């Protein structure tokens, strides 16, 4: 095949590829346009669910804070107890 023939075939191949890809992209965009959005009822349901999740997360954070406060208190008690010297037992001599 002569070089001019290869260029014509290349141009036809590229043009047809662009046309096919353009058609596929157009169809995909049209499909996205037809996709239904969320209704007000669905959005209300989502809002209620998020509110419940927020409440549950707040409750859990309070409980974790209580646990950590108790752990700090216990650690302080144990460290204070170990810092005090233990009394040495003394033997009383009986009369």
At 86 the pLDDT is 66
pLDDT tens digits for 38-57? 788 888 899 999 999 999 99
Total residue length of the chain: 95
At 20 the pLDDT is 93
Cα 46 to Cα 40: distance, rounded to the nearest angstrom: 10
Q: Is the pTM of this model over 0.75?
A: no
pLDDT tens digits for 53-90? 999 999 999 999 999 999 999 999 988 877 666 666 67
At 56 the pLDDT is 95
**Ordered DSSP codes for 53-65:** HHHHHHHHHHHHH
At 91 the pLDDT is 67
pLDDT tens digits for 15-43? 999 999 999 999 998 888 887 777 888 88
pLDDT tens digits for 3-15? 677 888 889 999 9
The 8-class DSSP code of residue 23 comes to: H
């Amino acid at each position: 095949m002569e070089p001019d023939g290869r260029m014509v075939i290349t141009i036809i191949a590229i043009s047809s590829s662009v046309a096919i890809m353009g058609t596929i992209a157009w169809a995909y965009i049209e499909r996205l346009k037809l996709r239904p959005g969320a209704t007000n009822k669905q959005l209300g349901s989502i809002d209620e669910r998020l509110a419940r999740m927020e409440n549950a997360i707040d409750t859990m954070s309070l409980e974790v804070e209580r646990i950590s406060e108790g752990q700090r208190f216990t650690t302080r008690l144990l460290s204070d107890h170990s810092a005090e010297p233990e009394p040495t037992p003394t033997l009383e001599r009986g009369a």
